[in-house]
Amino acid sequence: MSIVLAVESATANCAASLIVEDEVYTCAEFAPQQHAQLILPMVDKVIQQAGIEPKQIDSLVFGEGPGAFTGLRIAAGVVQGLALGWNKPILPISSLKALAYQAYEATGKTTWWVCLDARMGEIYVQYCEFDPQAAKMTAKPAELVKPNDFKVLKADVNGVGDIGSTYPDLVKDFTNWLDAVPQAEALARLALSELKQSKYLAVAIPQPVYLRASVSS
């Protein structure tokens, strides 16, 4: 069984998660603007809880976004630093796909619209479908849209994200809605089926997905 360490900071949630065989070690805190101070201690904590050495880790995973500009840079920078120090490959995973996986785990439903508040009167949206047999998530391209331009067209659709309080009328369009933010454990679990795509820094430096690259927030 592979050992995967994941960090997620695309939203106000800051989290690190380590999967070792059938055991999961997670540290998470809803802490706006504190990610830079919290994320490395969280990584140290889950490694200590698992009782392993960094050299045993097979891949480092980070939530590539889309999400908050600063949070994404912190996650990407942390895993790149760890990868350099530990000589480990990196695997970026979509933060929106992670949310869809969390929703699948909670309900068993396989198709989800993921909606994250992008601020500035916009939302990140992505349609995702999970294949339980292959343990893989497929998705349409993520988009940055105005809430009024986003229409739920399919019947019996499921939605997950953090826009419930900001855009309650939009949430009402979904048959099922879950309030949630991306978690590191979901990133780690999705990564287990995609480890062959991990790359060492000498091959490629993974970049966050901003969608609004010209604006930091």
The 3-class secondary structure across 95-127, one letter per residue, is HHHHHHHHHHHHHCCCEEEEEEEEECCEEEEEE
Asked if residue 21 and residue 55 are part of one domain, the reply reads yes
pLDDT at residue 155 in the model: 59
Do 175 and 104 belong to one domain? Answer: yes
Q: Does 90 share its domain with 191?
A: yes
The conformation of residue 164, written as its DSSP 8-state character, comes to T
Domain that holds residue 58: 3-94+182-197
Prediction pTM value: 0.93
Q: Does 134 lie in the same domain as 122? A: yes
Residue 202 lies in a domain: no
Query: Backbone dihedral region of 196: left (phi > 0), alpha (psi from -120 to 50 degrees) or beta?
Result: alpha
* 120 and 76 belong to one structural domain: no
Q: How would you class 33 by CB atoms within 10 Å of its CB: exposed for 0-12, middle for 13-18, buried for 19 or more?
A: exposed
Q: Are residues 72 and 107 in the same domain?
A: no
Pick from 44, 154, 144, 146: which is nearest to 109 by CA?
Answer: 154
| 172 & 191 share domain | no
Total structural domains within the chain: 2
CA distances from 88 to 5, 64, 79, 143, 201 (A): 11, 17, 9, 31, 8
* Residue 162 resides in a domain: yes
User: Are residues 117 and 79 part of one domain?
Assistant: no
Instruction: Please list the alpha-helical segments (H only) found in the chain.
Output: 35-50, 69-86, 95-107, 168-171, 184-191
Are 142 and 171 members of one domain?
yes
Q: Report yes or no on 217 lying in a domain.
A: no
Rounded mean pLDDT, 183-191: 96
Q: How many residues does the chain have?
A: 217
**Opening angle at CA 8, ends 53 and 206, nearest 5:** 80
Query: How many Cα atoms are found within 13 Å in the side-chain-facing hemisphere of 203?
Result: 10
What CATH number corresponds to the domain at position 138?
Answer: 3.30.420.40
Q: How far apart are CA 67 and CA 11, in angstroms?
A: 6
Region 53-60: mean pLDDT is 97
Residue 88 lies in a domain: yes
Q: For 162, which DSSP code? A: S
- Number of helical (H) and strand (E) elements in the chain, helices listed first: 5, 11
Pairing of β 111-119 and β 143-145: unpaired
| Gap between the Cα atoms of 212 and 69, Å rounded | 8
Q: Residue range 62-80: average pLDDT?
A: 96
On whether both 71 and 173 belong to a single domain, the answer is no
Same domain for 82 and 104? no
Confidence of residue 1 (pLDDT cuts 50, 70, 90): confident
Count the Cβ atoms, other than its own, within 10 Å of residue 126.
Answer: 22
Tens-digit pLDDT profile for residues 201-217 = 999 898 999 997 655 44
Q: Could you give the 3-state DSSP secondary structure of residue 80? A: helix
Q: Say if residue 54 is in the same domain as residue 10.
A: yes
In a domain, 214, yes or no: no
Tens digits of residue pLDDT in 159-179: 999 999 999 999 998 999 999
